[in-house]
Each structure stands twice: as structure tokens, then as C-alpha cells.
Amino acid sequence: MAKKRKFKKGVIIKLFILLVIFVAIIFGVVFVIKKIGNMKFKEYTKTLNYMDTVIDIKLYSNNEKEANTIISEIEKIYKYYHELTDRYNAYEGINNVYTINHTSDITKMEINHDLYNILDYSINWYYKSNGLFNINIGKLTDLWKVYRDNQTGIPTNDELYRLSGLDIKHIVLYDDNKILTGNVNLDLGGIAKGYATEVVHYYLKSIGFERYLINAGGTVLAGINSDGGKYRVGLQDPDNASAILKDENKEIKLNVSNAIVTSSGGYERFYEYNGVRYHHIINPNTKMPANNMKSVTVITDNAMLGDALSTTLFLMSIEDGQKFIENFDNVEAIWYTNDNKVIKSDGIKKYE
């Protein structure tokens, strides 16, 4: 047997000090690596084609499986709302806007809860916007679309005033799941994309996913970027498809995170006739395309609100719009006037 020996006091203290130093070093290194690890999120993108627009999805994740699942979930949502709000095609198994518009019998048609909610939300907006935001003007947009596609002339006064049944009161909803058909022609162009995007927004929030940027043609849903910071969003010049809107020769770049930026404007969907520009957004009161401005952009925290609000602001005069947005919290706006001036609400500074 060997002789017994106790630990020397000095050794234990030395060991302890060493341990503390090493743990401190490791803490430091781990902190640095966490920062670097943040930067190593991989980008996952997908481009979709729904609701007459291109939807760009960009996610940052360090988990490929998670990213692919989220992308396919997002695609499902857009596809679902695309089918629900499609004016030109019917789909098996659901009553959508097409079936509602193409049923001339006056009957109570059953619709699903999601479509019901969109209609309900839109009708509320009709009253909020004093009749400017109207989803029952399908006949009117169809008429203008014929002229826009041919790029010749404009509808005659006779044609415009023969259109009837544009009143929002013709949309009658029952029991949380029925609509009265026969007298309605819906056009959800001013709300469908925003509504679907808000559903996506809700989905992303519910699973706690943060690093995303979704551009659904006119509606940008921004989370945080791969560094945890803000995205830079440019606004397209309505007069030039490959240029960015400038304010006093400086390109407008909005720095946003966890926000929704929505634009309404002529962009590519307008035509000129006799020197006058005719947009695709029609004012239900005058039955003429709005031409108060070239475009309007709003920053909000809700995509449904953003879409409805930007459509409404586009139909209002800029002065009315400036007053109108004061009714909402956390809403800022940028107007681009017909004489190429940029007008911003006060809070836009935060994003520049």
C-alpha cells in the first residue's frame, strides 16, 4: 500500500481559480460565436404566382426542414385565399367569389368562415371609409378592364350609369356562413392580398418564426433580417418600372422590421388615353379611376388594415388622407403626387 496523502490546500485554490478563468474565457468565446452564428442563417426563397401577382417569400433559418415546412404552409395559405377570392375561376368543393358572382338566382349561398370574415371586414371598411372602399363594384372594374386591355378609349357615361347594383347594401350576410346572391358582383382586389398576408403574418407569429420578408405585390410583410435587424424597402417609381421613387433626388428607402408596408398606385396597371392616365383602382362614387395621386404607401402593423387603408387613401384627396390616418395608431404614409412631389406623414422619419 502506498502512503496516504491529503490534497494540498494550494492545489485546490489553484484549480478553482483556473476553472473560473476558463469558464470566463468560454463565456466570452460563446458570446462571439452566438453573434457569428446569427449571421450564418441560410436564406430560403420561393416565388409564387397567386392573386394576379408575384409573391416573393424569403426566410432566414438554420434549419432547412423548418424553412421548407414554413414555405409550403405559406404557399397553402396564399393558394387557399387565391381560390377563395378568385373572380375568374370556380374550384371544386368551395363557393368562392366566382360562384357568388355567377349565381343569378336570389338564394342564400353557403360560404366558409374565412370568406365570410373577409366580406364582413370589407363591409366594415365601407363605412369606415365613407363609401370609398367598396367590394361590390365588380361590374365597374370589369367594364374598365375591357377598355384598359384594349388601351383604346374610355367607357361612355351611358355605359357607366347603366351599371346598377353597386351598393354595398346589396351584400347581405347571414348566420356567420351565408350570403345572399343574385344581386352582387364582388371584387376583392383591394383586400384579398392583404387579408391572406395577414393570415400568413398570424401563422408566422403563432409558430414564433421571426426572420422573414414576404413581398406579395403591393404588400410587404417584414419580420427581422438575418442579423436580427431591419430590412430596407424601396418604393418603385410609378412612372418607371426599373427605377426607385426619389424624394429630392434621394432614393426613398424605408428601414422596417416587424411591420407591413403597403402601396396602392397605378404602376403597371394603367393606360393613357388622350393624355390622361387611367388606373385600375376605380372610385365607386365617380365611377372613374382615381387620379388624386400617382401612388400612396402606408406602414402599419396589420396587413389587412394596410391593404384596405392604402386603397382608401388612393381614392381620397391627399389632404383628406392626411386627416384620415390620424384615426389610426401606428400608421404612417407617403404620398406621391401627380406633379412628382413626395409628401410624408410626420412619423415616416422613424423609418428613414
Partner 1 sequence: MNKSDLKLIIVIILIAIIILFMVAIFNNNSNKKALIYYDNDLVLTIDLTEKEKKEYFVDGYNGVVKIITEDGKIKVDEEESPLHLCSKQGFIDKTYETIVCLPNKIVIKIVSSKTNDLDTILR
Partner 2 sequence: MEIKKISRIAMLLALSVVLNILESFMPLFNGIIPGFKLGLANIVILLVIYIYSFKDALLISLLRVFLVGILRTGLFSMSFFFSLGGAIISVIVMYLAKKFTKLSIIGVSIMGSISHTLGQIIVAIIFYNINMVYYMAWALILALPTGILVGYLTKEIKKTLDLSIKW
Binding residues (CB under 8 A) for partner 2: these are 1-5, 7, 11, 15, 18-19, 22, 25-27, 29-30, 33-34, 36-37, 40
Task: Residue 1: name its binding partner from partner 1, partner 2, none (Cβ under 5 to 8 Å by kind).
Answer: partner 2
Task: Residue 27: name its binding partner from partner 2, partner 1, none (Cβ under 5 to 8 Å by kind).
Answer: partner 2
Task: Residue 225: name its binding partner from partner 1, partner 2, none (Cβ under 5 to 8 Å by kind).
Answer: partner 1
Task: Residue 202: name its binding partner from partner 2, partner 1, none (Cβ under 5 to 8 Å by kind).
Answer: none
Kindly state whether residue 241 participates in binding partner 1, applying the rule CB under 8 A.
yes
Kindly state whether residue 261 participates in binding partner 1, applying the rule CB under 8 A.
yes
CB neighbour class for 75 (10 Å; exposed up to 12, middle 13-18, buried from 19): middle
CA-CA distance, 136 to 170, in Å (whole number)?
8
Kindly state whether residue 45 participates in binding partner 1, applying the rule CB under 8 A.
yes
Residue number with CB closer to partner 1 (95 or 236): 236
Nearest CA to 323 out of 133, 191, 130 is that of 130
User: What is the 8-class DSSP label of residue 55?
Assistant: E
Residue whose grid cell is 358582383: 185
Task: Residue 49: name its binding partner from partner 1, partner 2, none (Cβ under 5 to 8 Å by kind).
Answer: partner 1
Phi-psi region of 217 (alpha: psi -120 to 50; beta: other; left: phi over 0): left
Closest approach of partner 1 to the CB of residue 338, in Å? 19
CA-CA distance, 327 to 317, in Å (whole number)?
16
Closest approach of partner 1 to the CB of residue 2, in Å? 26
Distances (CA, A) of 330 to 152, 305, 351: 42, 11, 12
Task: Residue 276: name its binding partner from partner 2, partner 1, none (Cβ under 5 to 8 Å by kind).
Answer: none
Beta pairing class for 42-50 and 259-265: unpaired
CA-CA distance, 192 to 118, in Å (whole number)?
8
Name the grid cell of 123.
363591409
Give the range of 25-33, 114-122, 217-225, 318-326 binding partner 1 by CB under 8 A.
217-225
Residue number with CB closer to partner 2 (39 or 243): 39
CA-CA distance, 143 to 176, in Å (whole number)?
31
Closest approach of partner 2 to the CB of residue 33, in Å? 6
Give the range of 49-57, 62-70, 136-144, 337-345 binding partner 1 by CB under 8 A.
49-57
CB atoms within 10 A of CB 269: 13
Residue whose grid cell is 387611367: 278
Give yes or no for a contact between 135 and 188, defined as CB atoms under 8 angstroms apart: yes
Site size toward partner 1, by CB under 8 A: 32
Closest approach of partner 1 to the CB of residue 285, in Å? 27
Which amino acid is present at 166? L
Q: State the residues that interact with partner 1 by CB under 8 A.
A: 45, 47-49, 52, 54, 56, 58, 75, 149, 213, 215, 217-218, 220, 225, 231-236, 241-242, 244, 253, 261-263, 267-268, 297
